[in-house]
Chains A and B, each alone.
Chain A
Amino acid sequence: MVSLVLVSHSRILAEAVLSLVRQVASPEVKIACAAGVGADRLEFGTDAIQISEAIASVHAHDGTLVLMDLGSAILSAEMALDFLPEDMRVEVRLCAAPLVEGAISAAIAAGLGTALDGVEAEAMESLRPKQEHLGSAVPVASRTDDGPVVGHDDHPSVTVIMPNANGLHARPAARFVQTAGQFDAEIFVQKTGAGNSAVSARSLNKLVTLGLTQGDAMTITATGSQAQQALEALSALVKNGFGESTSTLPDPIPATPKPTKIVDNSGYTHRITPIAEGIALGPLRRVNAARSGLLDATSVDSPEVEWLQVQNAIARVIAALRARHMRLSTTAQQQAGDIFNSHQLILQDAELLSSLRQAIYERKISAEQAWQSTIAAQAEVYRAMSDPYLRQREVDINDIGAQVLSELTGVTDNFTDTWTTPSILLSDDYTPSQVAELDPKVVLGLISRQGSSTSHASILARSLGMPMLAGARDVLDDVSNGTCIGLDGSSGLLWVDPSLEIARALTDQRLSWLAHREHMRLNSQTNTVTQDGRRVEIAANISGITDSRVAVANGAEAVGVLRTEFLYLTRSVAPTEEEQVTTLSQIAAAMQGRPVIVRTLDIGGDKPIPYMNLPIEANPFLGVRAIRLSLLNPSLFITQIRAILRAGHSYPCRILLPMITLVEELVQSHKLIEQAHSQLAAEGVAHAWPIPIGIMVETPAAALMTHEFAPMVDFFSVGTNDLTQYTLAAERSNPNLGHLSDALHPSILRLIDIVVSEAHALGKWVGVCGEVAADPVAIPVLVGLGVDELSMNVSAIPQAKAIVRRINSTGAITLAKAALRTDMACAVRDLVGSMSVVSGEQP
């Protein structure tokens, strides 16, 4: 275990820091102080000899990290190293982190058994929460610094092959940055090969400029306490093609065919590049994006003001992008919303911001100019790329650039003009934001002179159902505005001034296309039944209002688990009852009448909640968590129950109790729930009563006691993630225990079988809400076991519904029976592969 030495001018300060650290860190971490000079060391100063003695007193071979305050503390610490024996000196590291924050982060990391590099990295990152909280405007330069050359040092790393046809472009890179950001680790990515430098996974721009194309190898390196987890998650993300199909995107630019002219007896037809399917017929309308010219160089005397202005402008654009992202995630495909998500990330890129800041402060130019030149430089990087797909990202950069600029200058382009006649638009090219803002009432279809099928604008057009053609070049140049145009987005056909006969045919085709779309939309909203008519409810696991909107759009039939932890974390006092009623009601309202199962607080010693003073436990997952915590804090629990009962008055809410192990716990919970009810009744407050109550089955004990629990509950929800972890006695996040984390292990299936049969015997229904509920392989097995509800992440819902609809339930029962008799998880998976119970799939 890494040891720590705290060096300060003040003995009192050092000792106080030590007590702060002791509050949070494992007692096993050895920490020594070296501080003060003179009698009793009560005078301010540092002493190199004392420092070297302090190091020697705690040092072990895992290494020692020395944290210090300022000035002579640094010099003395360096000098202290000179007095250590050589073999010890190489294992001691002086750390530049701030003393208080650094010591706390380092001690926590050391207590977790992190190696010296990782402990140091943790300490160096320790200012981040404070900076983020206070919104420090200045990007920390070191964060975007290029990383270590991979292979150097022994940082954990993985090498993966880029599977996506279009390489690491903005959307997958945004996913990568976001995934990387979830872990406490410094992550660097390098295109494999000599001489390539590593870039930080925090910088979207730098990642994209690596120019990774399909088949390229990339090495991901991580340091920090969660380095391993981060690497696993990231390599899984890459291997899964970043969640996009690895070949979905049609051919890139070079495929743009020359327009061909087909002359027939009535008007004439062209064939150009089809982009987004659909039929449109209407008058032509030219639109031109107003490209503002370069601004004159004017020198400014207050860079602070310029910096503030540009930051405000960026903040406004980010807010607009966020709104657009939300709107699109609910009405169109996720891919479309992701585009604006990646635009947001570009605007938050530390790299971009720091060169912007530099331009303002060092070249003393105006916010507008600085922004223009920064964006121009960034666009140039993309323009210079050899990969045609990446080259197109220039459009995105310019799109964002124009939005911020128009915020700065107040000048907008004519896309916000209004016209009332529904038209077909012609432009050189469209930016994603323009397409997203188009009003379908006045825009029937889009034609671009340039453009290709892989630009973000095209993706948006497709997901918004806006028919589009590209590559028109000059074919419409002689056609005047208002001329009737017909287009077919699937074939690429373009009619100029079509005959009446053709116009009529196109109108019919348009109507049947619109009807087909409506049918598709409605279909995803209907309840799910298997091929032979068995009802399986597909529900959503959500943790907030955004999720619930997406859940509805994706066809969720209920909320299977509403995690309420978000109400409690990252705040300094417990949420009030009123606040909870409001939030729960908003979420339930967004579900538009669908049932909402609210899970009570599921939290333990692994998540610090300042106002609860939870003791640090050696084994949080086996400690006071979930219902155990609620029962120890009855007032907190009753407040939550009162909120659920009150929200339940207007919306169909249900209560779900997490981590029930003993029958006594359920009995006690019922008492508290009844107490909440009698309080509300006595106060005359409207609330739901009785309310359906269910328990989570997460411990083997609960599963085996289903028969005893069943009379006291209305339903069961099997939490397969925890059930697997507790049954197989393997921590989920432990990278060495991956083989012990498959929820399809027959032991788990047998427990589910017990739960389902004993619950059904007493007329209670059973849901499954772990990751396995969304696993295409597991779904037929779970349906075969008789599970009534599958609850999953919102994005998995459409696929799960499609799978269930193709299941033959008799076949699924046979499959489940066979699965219960296997001896390992992979045998179950093989079985699903060999017995085809899902139609339309190859066995």
Chain B
Amino acid sequence: MSQNVITKDEIVAWVLAYAQAISDNRVLLTELDVAIGDGDHGANMDRGFKAVAQKLQSGGTDISQILKTTGMALLSTVGGAGGPLYSTLFLQAAQACAGKSELSLQDWTGMIDNAARGVMARGKAAAGDKTMLDALLPALQALIEASHANLPLADALLKSAEAAEHGKQATIPLIAHKGRASYLGERSAGHIDPGAASTALLFLIAAKTLAQS
């Protein structure tokens, strides 16, 4: 396995590892959502990614197809806002890497860029609205900078995971403008956004599972 590309099998491993991480963090995510939402983010995501894991057991034919299967499975199983949003994330990612058998840092960055655009279009949210975008956009920013600097893939993934984590922590003082938490108005401040937490986890798992020879 080359150090500077991501293969099809790694993509499967990433998604499966994320499914496991969601299951492990289910209670944590739920607690975050209890504070400012309806307390179902952990359960929603776990239900969705269990279904994804089932679908991916037999592996997949190519990267784009694996991501697409993931997106479609999420769509009808998550139930919450995470359903259309993570589904969009994976479907848009799939679209960006159509026909590719492995992904360079530039490919991966382009893929996350497309995914982030999709999530923004779907949710009509912007940076600072206290949503998953507040983790996703910093991660993307870090990837763009890393790919300009021609950093090794592993370093880039680490930087994006750190940026996502940072973004997640930065949601604490924000007032939610989208999603369930927005009904709380000012009372939504003082807590981490659950969607930002699950997105930060996605990038953390990517750093842990991808480009690790």
Does B167 interact with chain A (Cβ within 8 Å)?
no
5 additional A-B residue pairs with CB within 8 Å, beyond A48-B76, A48-B83: A37-B78, A38-B47, A45-B83, A72-B83, A75-B85
Does B162 interact with chain A (Cβ within 8 Å)?
no
A37, A71, A72, A75: the one contacting B77 at CB < 8 Å is A37
Query: Do B122 and A78 touch across chains, with their CB atoms under 8 A apart?
Result: yes
Query: Do A50 and B79 touch across chains, with their CB atoms under 8 A apart?
Result: no
Query: What is the number of residues of chain B that contact chain A, defined by CB distance less than 8 Å?
Result: 23
Does B138 interact with chain A (Cβ within 8 Å)?
no
Does A268 interact with chain B (Cβ within 8 Å)?
no
Query: Do A45 and B84 touch across chains, with their CB atoms under 8 A apart?
Result: no
* Shortest distance between the CB of B193 and any CB in chain A (Å): 14
Does A513 interact with chain B (Cβ within 8 Å)?
no
* Shortest distance between the CB of A78 and any CB in chain B (Å): 7
Some 23 contacts from A to B, beta carbons below 8 A apart, are A37-B76, A37-B79, A37-B83, A44-B79, A45-B40, A45-B78, A45-B79, A45-B80, A46-B79, A46-B83, A48-B75, A48-B76, A50-B76, A71-B80, A72-B80, A72-B84, A75-B81, A75-B83, A75-B122, A76-B84, A78-B84, A79-B75, A79-B88
Query: Do A71 and B179 touch across chains, with their CB atoms under 8 A apart?
Result: yes
Does B123 interact with chain A (Cβ within 8 Å)?
yes
Query: Do A43 and B80 touch across chains, with their CB atoms under 8 A apart?
Result: no
Bound complex: CA A134 to CA B84 (Å):
37
Does B44 interact with chain A (Cβ within 8 Å)?
yes
Query: Do B79 and A72 touch across chains, with their CB atoms under 8 A apart?
Result: yes
Does B180 interact with chain A (Cβ within 8 Å)?
yes
Does B114 interact with chain A (Cβ within 8 Å)?
no
Bound complex: CA A46 to CA B72 (Å):
14
Set of chain A residues within 8 Å of B123, measured between Cβ atoms: 75
Chain B 60-93 interface mask (CB, 8 Å, partner A; 1/0) = 0000000000001001111111111101100000
A44-B40 contact given A75-B122, A76-B84, A79-B88, CB 8 Å threshold: yes
Bound complex: CA A662 to CA B85 (Å):
67
Instruction: Kindly identify, within residues 306 to 339 of chain A, every residue whose CB is under 8 Å from any CB belonging to chain B.
Output: none
Q: Across the interface, name the chain A residue whose C-beta is closest to B85.
A: A75
Bound complex: CA A37 to CA B78 (Å):
8
Set of chain B residues within 8 Å of A704, measured between Cβ atoms: none
Instruction: Kindly identify, within residues 208 to 232 of chain A, every residue whose CB is under 8 Å from any CB belonging to chain B.
Output: none
Bound complex: CA A631 to CA B81 (Å):
57
Query: Do B83 and A76 touch across chains, with their CB atoms under 8 A apart?
Result: yes
Set of chain B residues within 8 Å of A47, measured between Cβ atoms: 75-77, 79, 83
Instruction: Kindly identify, within residues 33 to 56 of chain A, every residue whose CB is under 8 Å from any CB belonging to chain B.
Output: 36-38, 43-50
Instruction: Kindly identify, within residues 13 to 63 of chain A, every residue whose CB is under 8 Å from any CB belonging to chain B.
Output: 36-38, 43-50
A71-B81 contact given A37-B47, A48-B87, A79-B122, CB 8 Å threshold: yes
A36, A45, A48, A75: the one contacting B44 at CB < 8 Å is A45
Bound complex: CA A568 to CA B38 (Å):
45
Chain A residues with CB under 8 Å of chain B are 9, 36-38, 43-50, 71-72, 75-76, 78-79
Chain B residues with CB under 8 Å of chain A are 38, 40, 43-44, 47, 72, 75-85, 87-88, 122-123, 179-180
Bound complex: CA A76 to CA B179 (Å):
13
A48-B80 contact given A37-B47, A75-B122, CB 8 Å threshold: no
Set of chain A residues within 8 Å of B83, measured between Cβ atoms: 37, 45-48, 72, 75-76
Query: Do A49 and B40 touch across chains, with their CB atoms under 8 A apart?
Result: no
Set of chain B residues within 8 Å of A75, measured between Cβ atoms: 81, 83-85, 122-123
Bound complex: CA A298 to CA B126 (Å):
38
* Shortest distance between the CB of B81 and any CB in chain A (Å): 4
Bound complex: CA A38 to CA B47 (Å):
8
- Max chain B CB contacts within 10 Å: which of A9, A71, A75? A75
Bound complex: CA A37 to CA B82 (Å):
13
Q: At the interface, is chain A mostly helix, strand, loop or mixed?
A: mixed
Query: Do B75 and A71 touch across chains, with their CB atoms under 8 A apart?
Result: no
- Max chain B CB contacts within 10 Å: which of A46, A72, A78? A72
- Max chain A CB contacts within 10 Å: which of B47, B81, B180? B81
* Shortest distance between the CB of B158 and any CB in chain A (Å): 32
Set of chain A residues within 8 Å of B82, measured between Cβ atoms: 72
* Shortest distance between the CB of B46 and any CB in chain A (Å): 11
Set of chain B residues within 8 Å of A76, measured between Cβ atoms: 83-84
Bound complex: CA A44 to CA B72 (Å):
19
| Pairs of residues from A and B, 9 with the lowest C-beta to C-beta distance, nearest first | A45-B79, A37-B79, A72-B81, A75-B84, A49-B76, A79-B84, A47-B76, A72-B80, A76-B84
Q: Across the interface, name the chain A residue whose C-beta is closest to B80.
A: A72
Bound complex: CA A46 to CA B40 (Å):
13
* Shortest distance between the CB of B82 and any CB in chain A (Å): 8
Bound complex: CA A44 to CA B179 (Å):
15
Bound complex: CA A398 to CA B87 (Å):
59
Set of chain A residues within 8 Å of B75, measured between Cβ atoms: 47-49, 79
Set of chain A residues within 8 Å of B47, measured between Cβ atoms: 37-38, 43
Set of chain B residues within 8 Å of A50, measured between Cβ atoms: 76
Bound complex: CA A37 to CA B76 (Å):
7
Q: Across the interface, name the chain B residue whose C-beta is closest to A41.
A: B79
Set of chain A residues within 8 Å of B88, measured between Cβ atoms: 79
Set of chain A residues within 8 Å of B80, measured between Cβ atoms: 45-46, 71-72
Bound complex: CA A623 to CA B60 (Å):
66
Query: Do A48 and B84 touch across chains, with their CB atoms under 8 A apart?
Result: yes
Bound complex: CA A78 to CA B75 (Å):
12
Bound complex: CA A624 to CA B72 (Å):
54
Bound complex: CA A79 to CA B76 (Å):
11
Bound complex: CA A43 to CA B184 (Å):
23
Bound complex: CA A45 to CA B74 (Å):
12
* Shortest distance between the CB of B74 and any CB in chain A (Å): 10
Bound complex: CA A695 to CA B99 (Å):
85
* Shortest distance between the CB of B116 and any CB in chain A (Å): 16
* Shortest distance between the CB of A329 and any CB in chain B (Å): 49
Set of chain B residues within 8 Å of A37, measured between Cβ atoms: 47, 76-79, 83
* Shortest distance between the CB of A317 and any CB in chain B (Å): 35
Q: Across the interface, name the chain B residue whose C-beta is closest to A76.
A: B84
Set of chain A residues within 8 Å of B38, measured between Cβ atoms: 44
Bound complex: CA A683 to CA B43 (Å):
71
Bound complex: CA A774 to CA B207 (Å):
87
Bound complex: CA A43 to CA B72 (Å):
19
Query: Do B180 and A71 touch across chains, with their CB atoms under 8 A apart?
Result: yes
* Shortest distance between the CB of A8 and any CB in chain B (Å): 12
Set of chain B residues within 8 Å of A48, measured between Cβ atoms: 75-76, 83-84, 87
* Shortest distance between the CB of A82 and any CB in chain B (Å): 9
Bound complex: CA A37 to CA B46 (Å):
13
* Shortest distance between the CB of A493 and any CB in chain B (Å): 70
Bound complex: CA A48 to CA B81 (Å):
11
- Max chain A CB contacts within 10 Å: which of B72, B83, B88, B179? B83
Query: Do B87 and A38 touch across chains, with their CB atoms under 8 A apart?
Result: no
Set of chain B residues within 8 Å of A72, measured between Cβ atoms: 79-84
Bound complex: CA A461 to CA B175 (Å):
60
Set of chain A residues within 8 Å of B44, measured between Cβ atoms: 45
Q: Across the interface, name the chain A residue whose C-beta is closest to B88.
A: A79
Bound complex: CA A559 to CA B192 (Å):
73
Q: Across the interface, name the chain A residue whose C-beta is closest to B179.
A: A71
- Max chain A CB contacts within 10 Å: which of B43, B47, B84, B87? B84
* Shortest distance between the CB of A13 and any CB in chain B (Å): 14
